[in-house]
Amino acid sequence: MEKLVKVDSKEKIFEQYLDTPISKLIEYHNLGIEFDKYDRAQILIGMCMDNRKQLRIPENFAYIIRTGGANLRYSEFKVSYAIAIGKVKYIALIGHTNCGMVNLISRREDFINGLVENAGWDRNWAEQHFMHFAPMFEIGDEIDFILSEAKRLRMRYPKITVAPLIYKIEDNKLYLIREN
């Protein structure tokens, strides 16, 4: 069974997300609905820092945390802030296709050489930096990582609805992920 669900109509949005900020996010981005006005954030969006992704959402609609691979493990205080102070009850966790954090170890030499050439780092320092941090940020498969991160966040914040999504670079659309 295909895990990704293309959302090209409101009817394709999973029932548990209908009439929530998660549904609105998908409707704004994929379906091009007219923007509502917001005085405060309705949702936290955790997504990759990749420059190829741009969401179509209204002002004040969302807190957004962008980090490699949409890995929120090291941004948990910011997540807690959005929930505690911002009072959001929904998190959209958005991975994407062709993510640079997948198989990061294969990009070791490019990474090290880039720091040496572009940042002026000593090669040994660049190697140590990569070897220290790459294991923390390597995500493996995009879909599997987003599902595991969604599960982790649900356990950490049991009253919060967490929706795992994938942004397909190929068509710039959000896809729901079947979890069964």
End-to-end alpha-carbon separation of the chain, Å? 10
pLDDT given for residue 53 in this prediction: 85
pLDDT given for residue 1 in this prediction: 52
| Chunked mean pLDDT (size 10), the chain, 180 residues | 90 97 98 97 95 93 94 94 98 91 91 97 97 89 94 98 96 94
Measured distance CA(69)–CA(137) in Å, rounded: 7
Instruction: Using alpha carbons, list the distances in angstroms from residue 68 to 43, 73, 88, 100, 116.
Output: 20, 11, 22, 8, 21
Measured distance CA(6)–CA(82) in Å, rounded: 28
- Sorted by where each starts, the structural domains of the chain and their CATH numbers stand as 4-101+141-177 (3.40.1050.10), 103-138 (no CATH)
Measured distance CA(93)–CA(11) in Å, rounded: 21
